[in-house]
Amino acid sequence: MAKKILLIDDDFDLVEAMRITLEAAGFEVIDAQDGESGLNKIRSESPDLVILDVMMSSMDEGFHVAYKIRQEVAIKDTPIVMLTAVGNQTGFQFDPSKDADFLPVDAFLEKPVNPKNLVDVVRQNIKI
């Protein structure tokens, strides 16, 4: 059975672009436009991996969603790939190897998303 990936991002075009790439790579893709409905979909659909945008309605909505995922026993082991366009723009710098303690995600992907990179990162982090 195809692995299921949930995209949580309010940028519809980016979601579509990622969907095409991931479906071509053999994944099943579902999506949510905001953190709250994203959390509900994780609970109801139990995806194998979540791709989560940092900035949605607020600057750090993605972080809050990530924390909530890690706090709920039923879904806390879902791998999370965090999408950022943040980089230097807001003065934040991420490094998963160093910041993993307080950023409970498995990988970071910087926008713009390169299709090959996307598939690689998803394959590396999804649990087989």
Partner 1 sequence: MTLFPQTPAFSSSSILRRDQWLIRLRWFAIIGLLMGVALLQGISLGPPISIKWISITGALMILLNTSYVLYASGKRQFGMTSLVILLNLQMVVDLLLLTFLVYLTGGVESPLIFFYVFHIILASIIFQGGFSYYYSILVIFLFSALILFEQTNLVNHICFFQEIDLATDTRFVVGIWCIFVTTMVVSAYLAQDVTDRHRRVREKLEAANKKLQEINDTKTTFFRFASHEMKAPVATIQSTLMVIQDILGDDVDTRARDMLQRAIGRTSNIIQMLKDLADLTYGNLQEKQAFTKVDLNVLLTELLADTLPNAERKKLILTYNAPKRACEFDGDPSALRKVFSNLVSNAIRYTPEGGTIEVSLKYMSTFYEISVSDTGAGIPQSEQINIFKEFYRTPTAKKEVSEGTGLGLSIALRMVELHGGTIELTSIEGKGSCFTVQLPIGVGL
Q: Given the rule CB under 8 A, which of 27-35, 38-46, 74-82, 113-121 is the region that contacts partner 1?
A: 113-121
Contact 53, 62 (CB under 8 A): yes
| CA distances for 92 relative to 4, 21, 32, 89, 107, angstroms | 30, 28, 25, 7, 16
Q: Return the residue of 28, 33, 60, 85 that touches partner 1, per CB under 8 A.
A: 85
Return the number of the residue (16 or 45) whose C-beta is nearest partner 1: 16
For CA atoms 22, 88, 13, 51, give the dihedral sign: positive
Return the number of the residue (23 or 72) whose C-beta is nearest partner 1: 23
AA letter at 92 = F
Compute the CA torsion angle 119, 5, 105, 17 (nearest 10 deg). Answer: 50
Q: Which string of x and - marks every residue 40-69 that binds partner 1 (by CB under 8 A)?
A: ---------------x--------------
Query: Which residues of this protein are in contact with partner 1, per CB under 8 A?
Result: 11, 13-14, 16-18, 20-21, 24, 55, 85-91, 93, 111-116
